[in-house]
Amino acid sequence: MEPPAQARRVTIVDVAQHAQVSTTTVSKVLRNAYGTSAATREKVQRSIAALGYRPYAAARGMRGRTYTVGVMLPDIRNPFFPDILDGLTEALRETDYQVLLGPGGCNDEPAEARVTEAMIDRGMDGMVLIAPVSSRPHLERVARTVPTVVVGPHGNSAAYDTVSDDDTLGAALVVGHLVGLGHRRIAHIEHAESDPTRLADMPNAIRAEGYRRAMREHGLAEEIDIVSTTYTQEGGYLGARQLLERARRPTAVFAGADIVALGVLEALDEAGLSVPGDISVAGYDNTSLAALRPISLTSVDQAGRQIGAEAARLLLGRIADPGRGAAHVRLSPTLVARRSTAAAGG
Amino acid sequence: MEPPAQARRVTIVDVAQHAQVSTTTVSKVLRNAYGTSAATREKVQRSIAALGYRPYAAARGMRGRTYTVGVMLPDIRNPFFPDILDGLTEALRETDYQVLLGPGGCNDEPAEARVTEAMIDRGMDGMVLIAPVSSRPHLERVARTVPTVVVGPHGNSAAYDTVSDDDTLGAALVVGHLVGLGHRRIAHIEHAESDPTRLADMPNAIRAEGYRRAMREHGLAEEIDIVSTTYTQEGGYLGARQLLERARRPTAVFAGADIVALGVLEALDEAGLSVPGDISVAGYDNTSLAALRPISLTSVDQAGRQIGAEAARLLLGRIADPGRGAAHVRLSPTLVARRSTAAAGG
């Protein structure tokens, strides 16, 4: 068979004719210049979409930009990340930037390196790395090549901007809530952190340390009980199974992420235990799953959309001025109490 | 502040030294050539990852390929799409192709056009469009520019390959299951299809038509009751609210997607109705959410991983031979019965 014929390339003249405006007007809309009404902009953009006009490749290539932002996501199944992404794309909507996502792979440094290098190779103007596990030297190498914002890890690199959440406070909110309900045997399921250099920066490690600190502050140092698995549904399931084998079973489980809490609920249901009747369960991230009525999970709200919006704002600033000093934004979480937590022994 | 210094570019010589092999060996590994052992391959790949070596931009650009596959996802919150993506990335793992995702936007033709054009502009070697709502002429225009596989819609375009599921059979499986449990008043929540030209191709429309046909075949033509919303959690919630206002309430709801069923469960819980005690609920896609014990949703398994793997296989073939005839793969679904469906009036 013959290959299908190549379509004639649509030009700015076609767009102008289709929208019944001048080519100058189309050009203004393309450049986001002043002097066009919202109605005209919309009309031109409809024509651009209808005709499949693509001004970018040539015009933009000449200016040395691809108008592409690469976003690395570690785990497309974790429902927290779409929240961040919503905030990010919302903040970029009025710009010319297109978001492309690179799936990184949970806890997989080589996969992360492959994605970041692939994005650099493909000429991304900027990158947002969400919850990367790569070493700081690797992240700094990336950031020296392309303007980069890192979301999640704490730390104050001079090479890239960061948006993080106060994970110490988040853990304290959960422990305080459970202690207020009369719980003492409060266990935590953490995402295992094997690299000692990352203990000070990674949200999972800071959450676990925040749990320890809060337990001590409530006089519950003796009750500290941490199971190390991963921030996945399976990690929650396996962690809960370990906790259920304890001679003294916890009365409450603080899962380090909502997706982990889902696995905990599964293990408890399988063991014939009711939530919160037998065991209270709290998560972290306040995802859309936590709000589902059959689940109704107490969780910590990190304001994912706001995190994404801040990341976009920082990245646009860094692309405009790559030499500026690094900015570090830390947001404060809140607790959302739902039906999965209740009075101890209740 | 001064911009940070640019890092020296890592070369093939650095990789060879780090891996303690010859540059010829590194080159062979990069080209996927015969004559290297699995152990050597792995050693070289570890060095490539460790040093952050990027052979692609230059070497590949010369060969006119970017080794990038663009995947358009309409809705990153729908847990069915990660299943497809897993199959796709798994099938591409042993190749040099990198997957980049473009979030398309639910039911949003201009957003889809923007994403596909952006991917074309950025030199993707091939594209997989998952559940696109764009018109066939638009899809064919895209496919004439870049090798394209369309996942979801039926139809036999000569310009692109398709992987679809037998949605008529899927709907019949659900209706048959519910009829077998003694249900007669079985309602369906569909994803509204306003474009008459798409009625014959879109999975959502075919599922609704399959429901109608199966109801008629079971002698239940009088009981056909369809609510039109969207394949989102909110669509399920709103659809269920409409059904609950009926004078004769359905005893079973067939939601067109698991994510829709989640919204149905929410609305029923809010109304104080139990599942399956008061109303049975079935979904479609057999996502990881359906398997969650607190949800335990009867659903239709479309074998998302297999769909993704087939799409990857077709795309690689099409990239290798863009002029070959179009291939159309249709898979058959199965029903997975769980606790959300039970005997009518039980």
Q: Which SS3 state, helix, strand or coil, does residue B262 take?
A: helix
C-alpha triplet A327, A66, A163: angle, nearest 5°: 20
Quick one: pLDDT at residue A54?
A: 63
Using the Cβ of A66 and the Cβ atoms of chain B, whether some distance falls under 8 Å is answered with yes
Contacts of B79 in chain A (CB under 8 A): 77
Quick one: pLDDT at residue B136?
A: 85
The verdict on a CB contact (< 8 Å) between A122 and B117 is: no
- Residue B149 and residue B307: Cα distance in Å, rounded? 11
Total number of residues shown for chain B: 346
Residue of A nearest to B97 (CA): A118
The verdict on a CB contact (< 8 Å) between A4 and B295 is: no
Quick one: pLDDT at residue B60?
A: 41
Q: A335: which DSSP letter? A: E
Quick one: pLDDT at residue B95?
A: 86
Using the Cβ of A108 and the Cβ atoms of chain B, whether some distance falls under 8 Å is answered with no
The verdict on a CB contact (< 8 Å) between B4 and A143 is: yes
Using the Cβ of A64 and the Cβ atoms of chain B, whether some distance falls under 8 Å is answered with no
DSSP string for residues in B229-258: E-SSHHHHHHHHHHHHTSSS--SEEEESSH
| Residue A225 predicted with pLDDT over 90 | yes
Do residues A168 and B82 touch, judged by C-beta distance below 8 A? Answer: no
Question: Best residue in A72, A121, A148, A295 to probe B by mutation, most B CBs within 10 Å?
Answer: A121
Quick one: pLDDT at residue B62?
A: 39
Among the listed residues A292, A331, A303, A335, the one whose alpha carbon sits nearest the alpha carbon of residue A178: A335
Highest mean pLDDT among A38-52, A149-163, B177-191, B284-298: B177-191
Residue B233 token pair: 């959690």
Average pLDDT, chain A: 87
| Residue B346 predicted with pLDDT over 60 | no
Q: Which SS3 state, helix, strand or coil, does residue B98 take?
A: strand
Using the Cβ of B9 and the Cβ atoms of chain A, whether some distance falls under 8 Å is answered with no
Percent of chain B at pLDDT > 90 equals 55
How distant is the Cα of A113 from the closest Cα of chain B, in angstroms?
6
Q: In this predicted model, which residue has the larger pLDDT, A238 or B60?
A: A238
Q: In this predicted model, which residue has the larger pLDDT, B304 or A110?
A: B304
Residue B264 token pair: 């149905």
Residue B217 token pair: 């075949």
DSSP string for residues in B171-213: HHHHHHHHHHTT---EEEEEE----GGGTTT-HHHHHHHHHHH
Among the listed residues A131, A102, A128, the one whose alpha carbon sits nearest the alpha carbon of residue A114: A102
| Residue B59 predicted with pLDDT over 50 | no
ipTM: 0.73
Contacts of B322 in chain A (CB under 8 A): 3
Report all structural domains of chain A as residue ranges with CATH numbers, in order of start.
12-55 (1.10.260.40), 68-165+304-330 (3.40.50.2300), 167-302 (3.40.50.2300)
The model's pLDDT over A143-169, given as tens digits with 9 standing for 90+, comes to 988 999 999 988 888 999 999 999 999
Among the listed residues A82, A107, A77, A78, the one whose alpha carbon sits nearest the alpha carbon of residue A258: A78
- Residue A41 and residue B309: Cα distance in Å, rounded? 41
- Residue A272 and residue B180: Cα distance in Å, rounded? 29
| Residue B88 predicted with pLDDT over 80 | yes
**Count of other CB atoms within 10 angstroms of residue A252:** 27
Residue of B nearest to A4 (CA): B144
Average pLDDT over residues B151-175: 93
Helix H segments across chain B? 12-19, 23-30, 38-51, 56-63, 80-92, 109-121, 136-145, 167-180, 203-217, 233-244, 258-270, 288-291, 304-320
- Residue A261 and residue A279: Cα distance in Å, rounded? 12
- Residue A142 and residue B110: Cα distance in Å, rounded? 33
How distant is the Cα of B114 from the closest Cα of chain A, in angstroms?
7
Model confidence, pTM: 0.77
**Count of other CB atoms within 10 angstroms of residue A228:** 16
The model's pLDDT over B220-267, given as tens digits with 9 standing for 90+, comes to 999 999 999 999 899 999 999 999 999 999 999 999 999 999 999 999
User: Which residue in the set B7, B122, B266 is minimally distant from A66, CB to CB?
Assistant: B122
User: Which residue in the set A118, A123, A159 is minimally distant from B4, CB to CB?
Assistant: A159
Percent of chain B at pLDDT > 70 equals 92
How distant is the Cα of B3 from the closest Cα of chain A, in angstroms?
4
Side-by-side strand order, sheet with A186-191: A225-229, A186-191, A252-255, A280-282
Residues 6 or more apart whose CB falls under 8 angstroms from that of A9 comprise none
- A:B CB pairs within 8 Å: 160
The verdict on a CB contact (< 8 Å) between B121 and A54 is: yes
Quick one: pLDDT at residue B64?
A: 61
Using the Cβ of B11 and the Cβ atoms of chain A, whether some distance falls under 8 Å is answered with no
The model's pLDDT over B94-123, given as tens digits with 9 standing for 90+, comes to 888 889 999 877 667 888 888 888 888 788
How distant is the Cα of A109 from the closest Cα of chain B, in angstroms?
8
The verdict on a CB contact (< 8 Å) between B98 and A102 is: yes
Among the listed residues B280, B296, B308, B263, the one whose alpha carbon sits nearest the alpha carbon of residue B86: B308
Question: Best residue in B122, B157, B268 to probe A by mutation, most A CBs within 10 Å?
Answer: B122
Average pLDDT, chain B: 87
